[in-house]
Structure 1
Amino acid sequence: MARPTPELIYALRQTASNLQHGAPYQWGHMGGCNCGNLAQELTKLDKDQIHRYAMQRHGDWNEQAEDYCETSQMPIDLLINELLNAGLMLEDLKHLERLDDRAVLLRFPVGQRFLKHNVREDVIAYMNAWAELLEEQLLEKITLPAMYVLELA
């Protein structure tokens, strides 16, 4: 599961909002799919740039994650490296593209856990649920210093 970072939580929420408000969505397009839309938010590249980078190697986001090489200078690997630096793990890319991370799905009522990976509304719901999960994890890690009461003598 991703490292809960403020940047990633914000990007998930912003991507969901963008999709809700009509951002281009096309599951078969590497720059306009689930991962592609999140990548747009995290990298500030447009969907066509992301798609061009991905097409320099074969496969969908699942295969791109499998073939990722951190020392490669291929544009898609540099892009994936930015996503990883924001807190994502390679497995998150695979789960996001299929909307199938168990921890995220458990946040939905039992009858609503069967999300369709290529349906805009399901992608929006998944990203919002994932952002909520990561925010809860982030807040659990925050420890405020104990307050000391000074006694006056």
Structure 2
Amino acid sequence: MARPNPELIDALRRTARKLAEGAPYQWGHMGGCNCGNLAQELTKMTRDQIHQYAMQRYGDWNEQVADYCDTSQLPFDVIINQMLGAGLALEDLKHLEKLDDREVLVRLPLERRFLKHNRRDDVVTYLNEWANLLEEKLLAKITLPADLMQVREPVAVNV
């Protein structure tokens, strides 16, 4: 699972919001699919740039992730590197493309757990719930100093 951090959580929510508001979505387009839309947010590359780099090799996101090499400097591997640097893991990219991470899906109501990987509304649902999950994990790691946790007596104010 991804490393929870504010930047990644924000990128997931921005991607979901843009898709909900009608950003170009095409599951068969490497820059406009589930991973492609998130890649746009994390890399600041355009949909067409991402697609162009992907076409220098074969395969969809799952195949390209399987063939990823962190030292290759191939343009698409550089995109994946940036996404990993934002806190994602390779498995997250595979799950995002198929909308099938069990840890995300189990949080949805039973009737909403059967998402279609190529349906815009389902991608928005998945991204938002994934962001919520990561935010909860991030907040769970935060501990306040003991002196802030103590209950203090209210200070009386004379009027």
Q: Normalization by structure 2: what TM-score?
A: 0.92
Instruction: Give the Cα separation in 1 of the matches to 2:14 and 2:103.
Output: 21
Task: Tell me which amino acid in the other structure corresponds to 2:82.
Answer: E
Per-residue deviation at 1:110?
A: 1.2
Deviations 1:59-110 (A, max 9, x none): 1110111000000110000110000000000000000000000000001111
Aligned-CA RMSD value: 1.2
Instruction: Give the Cα separation in 2 of the matches to 1:61 and 1:142.
Output: 34
Q: Structure 1: where are the runs of 5+ without partners?
A: none
Per-residue deviation at 1:5?
A: 1.0
Instruction: Give the Cα separation in 2 of the matches to 1:10 and 1:52.
Output: 26
Q: Structure 2: where are the runs of 5+ without partners?
A: 151-159
1:126 maps to: 126
Per-residue deviation at 1:145?
A: 1.2
Instruction: Give the Cα separation in 2 of the matches to 1:33 and 1:8.
Output: 18
Q: Percent identity?
A: 72
1:73 maps to: 73
Task: Tell me which amino acid in the other structure corresponds to 2:131.
Answer: A
Instruction: Give the Cα separation in 2 of the matches to 1:146 and 1:129.
Output: 32
Task: Tell me which amino acid in the other structure corresponds to 2:88.
Answer: L
Task: Tell me which amino acid in the other structure corresponds to 1:108.
Answer: L
Task: Tell me which amino acid in the other structure corresponds to 2:112.
Answer: Q
Q: What pairs up with 1:6-85 in 2 under 5 angstroms?
A: 6-85=6-85
Q: How many correspondences in the alignment?
A: 150
1:3 maps to: 3
Instruction: Give the Cα separation in 1 of the matches to 2:84 and 2:145.
Output: 30
Q: What SS is found at the alignment partner of 1:143? A: coil
Task: Tell me which amino acid in the other structure corresponds to 1:127.
Answer: L
Per-residue deviation at 1:2?
A: 0.5
Q: What SS is found at the alignment partner of 2:25? A: coil
Q: Normalization by structure 1: what TM-score?
A: 0.95
Per-residue deviation at 1:29?
A: 0.0
